[in-house]
Amino acid sequence: MNLKIKVQNPAFWLGTVIGIFSIIGGYFGIQGTDVTNWGVVTNTLGAAIANPYVVWIIFIYIIGLFIDTSTLGFKDSPVTMAKISISQTAEDIIKEQQLKAETAETEPETAVTPETTVVATAPTLTAEQASAVITQINSMVTPTEPQVTA
């Protein structure tokens, strides 16, 4: 789950607060006309916190907030997981991933460690494989062209 992104979203917090107050109000049978002063609100919140059943229902509700039902299982989508800012769109993420893939195809990756620098290159061939490739190339070359040698 990309919790950093979820908690940046004001809609997440609005839904959380509304859901929690709805659970508490529903359990205690509170109606809008019952909330006439802050004492009623604080007393009701205190009673909710003191009631293990209400705390459990709120806990279950909060777990449900973190489940992405648009994907299999309980994980967020790869696009959501790749986000680093709430303002990024799926289109932004996909474009970034395509750019990284194109860059990776044209430039070798370099890993730097204190001891050495490793550059990713094309796979190497054994002597036997290289010989087979040269033989294949030579069989395709016309007799007037020079032969490839190892």
- Residue 150 confidence (pLDDT) above 70: no
Q: Encode pLDDT of 53-77 as tens digits.
A: 999 999 999 998 888 777 777 777 7
- Residue 115 confidence (pLDDT) above 60: no
Average pLDDT over residues 107-118: 54
| DSSP assignments along the chain, one per residue | --HHHHHH-HHHHHHHHHHHHHHHHHHHT--GGG--SHHHHHHHHHHHHH-HHHHHHHHHHHHHHT--TTSSTTPPPHHHHH-SSTT--HHHHHHHHHHHHHHHHHS--EEE-SS-EEE--PPPPPHHHHHHHHHHHHHHS-TTSPPP--
Residue, of 139 and 40, whose pLDDT is higher: 40
* Residue 7 in tokens: 């908690």
Domain ranges of the chain: 3-92
Q: Encode pLDDT of 15-50 as tens digits.
A: 999 999 999 999 999 998 888 899 999 999 999 999
What average pLDDT does the structure give for the chain? 79
